[in-house]
Amino acid sequence: MYMKKVIVGVSGGVDSSVALILLKNEGYEVEGLFMRNWDSLVNNDILGNPTLDNQICTQEEDYNDAKAVCDKLGVTLHRIDFVKEYWDYVFTYFLDELKKGRTPNPDVMCNKYIKFDLFIKEAKKLGADYVATGHYARIENGNLYKGIDENKDQSYFLSQLSNEQLKNVLFPVGNLNKEEVRKIARDYDLVTKDKKDSTGICFIGERNFRQFLSNYLPNIPGKIVNIETNEVLGEHIGLMHYTIGQRKGLAVGGTNDRLFVVGKNLNDNILYVALGSDNDYLYSDSCIIDTLVLNTNDKIVNCQAKFRYRSKDIPVSIEYLDNDELLVKYTNGKSITPGQVCALYDGDRCLGSGIIKEVRKNNEKLWYLL
């Protein structure tokens, strides 16, 4: 009897480790594939500066954990390098967006161009009938749905994937919550059973972000200005280090006021702030999104939108524009920012997403948002 073969993207974390177990227990022929997407020395050579980013990467530790898990479970582990591809398709995009003063999401692009494109092609070379990852999401009738665990749901990061990319993809942990996943890992006494979740940029890991980023983009200090009074309050370290709604990290001396980032002026290198978490400058009522991936044949009129990972879904209405863009209308949207992903939902079903191009209020673009 032919056993369907599944190639699992094994990261060295607990979720993909448990995905291996679940699929083996279902009777699949299972093999693992570890992706190496970041190499400081290679990337520094691209920039012609061998001294950049000499911090030890955690990927070798992750590989060792992945190998230990696969060895314990009797699973073959393959390894593939996508270092150049990650630089070309993900990190370059990340840097370019930051240069424009926008707030990009490299993890979304990593899923779109690496994990569910190049990885799938490599898995097919290994004879895969299916590909699986440890994402907290579900696929039903060929469509993407949120994971059962609301606190861990990762459909937002998968929202730029087409249904074509999701063909023959499995998300084994999508019907479990995190504690259930941890319990399975402990029952099998895996080395990853108590390993904490990664929180850094996809494949780059946790590190001093400001220091790391300064290796690739120069810090250009400028003025911090109160947008309401035009008063200069201090100096920022570089616009790329701030996003709309941010409070921490503002170098403003001599005040205990609760100041929040509300905008940027790229030409004059100004960071705009305003007082209070409910100041009017943080709110908008619509945005234009492009770079659309929509997985429905129906014209979307009313649905829900998620503008940041872990943010609450809010009701929106949709208007179709020229140039494959959508106008997304809502009430009192807060800290909605150019460059972010706007994921669209019908309940738990993810309909797709776009990238926020422009934020508006009262039918006009907000001049203080790039």
Active site residues: 110, 202
- Look at phi and psi of residue 48 and say left if phi exceeds 0, alpha if psi is from -120 to 50, else beta: left
Report the distance separating Cα 176 and Cα 352, nearest Å. Answer: 23
What's the CA dihedral at 243, 203, 9, 291 to 10 degrees?
A: 40
Single-letter residue type at 54: N
Between CA 106 and CA 94 the distance in angstroms is 6
